[in-house]
Amino acid sequence: MDSDKNKASVPPEQNEGIKKDLEEQVSFDKVEDAEEMFVLAKDRLLHVNDWHQVNENINSKFQIIDQEGNEHHRRAHQGDIIAIEIPGPGSVTGEGKDWVKVEAVEYDDYPDDNKECIAMRLRPVPNPTSEDQSVAHFFTNAATSTFVIERDHNTVTARYFGRNEKPNVQAENVVDKVRNTVVGISAMLGLSDVQWDGLIKGFLDTGD
C-alpha cells in the first residue's frame, strides 16, 4: 500500500496549512456516452494552456514551459513547468508569474471493473527562466494541487485536492513576501475555490 502514496491520483498527506477537496460528477444513460465524456475530460485536463477557456469563472492563464524555458502548445507531460498568470500583483521572483511543476501524470485502466482514471499533480517550483532558485509561487513547495478524472461505468467524476496550502513567506524578496501572504491567505480563505471548481466543472461540460 505504501507505493500507492506516490500515485498521481492519491493526494499527499496533509501536514500543514489547509486542504481543499472539490468534486463534480455527471452520469449518463449509456456507458458509451460516459466513455466519450472521459476522453473529452482527459483531453481538457492535459491541455493546460486552454484551461482558461473551459469555464467563465477561470480568470488565470496557464502556459506549459519546458525545463529550458521554451513555451509548448501540447498536452502536459510529467516534468513540464507551468507558468500561471493570476489577476493582481505578480511575483517579482517569478517575473510576474507563479510557477508549478507537473510532478506526476498517470493513466490507469481497469477493464474488468469498467473503470479508468487520469490524474495530474502540480507543485510550486522556482522560476526556470531565472537564476534565483527560491520558490516562485504564493504557496510553499509543500503545497500540491491534484486533479483526478475517473470513469466508473456510466459516471464520470472530476476532483480537485489541494494539500498543505500555506503562504510562501520565506521568499527572499520583501515585496514577494508581502504579496505571497496576501494572495496565499486569500486563496486559503476560499477565493481560489471558485476557479478550481469552475475548472473541474469545465472538464465535465456536456455543452447542454
| pLDDT per residue as tens digits for the range 171-207 | 677 776 777 677 777 766 555 777 899 999 999 998 8
**Nearest in space to 108 (alpha carbons), one of 208, 7, 204:** 7
**How far is the C-alpha of 150 from the C-alpha of 128, rounded, in Å?**
32
Quote the pTM value: 0.90
Q: Give the pLDDT mean for 147-160.
A: 97
All structural domains of the chain: 15-203 (3.30.530)
**How far is the C-alpha of 72 from the C-alpha of 65, rounded, in Å?**
6
Measured in whole angstroms, the distance separating CA 112 from the mean position of its chain's CA atoms is 29
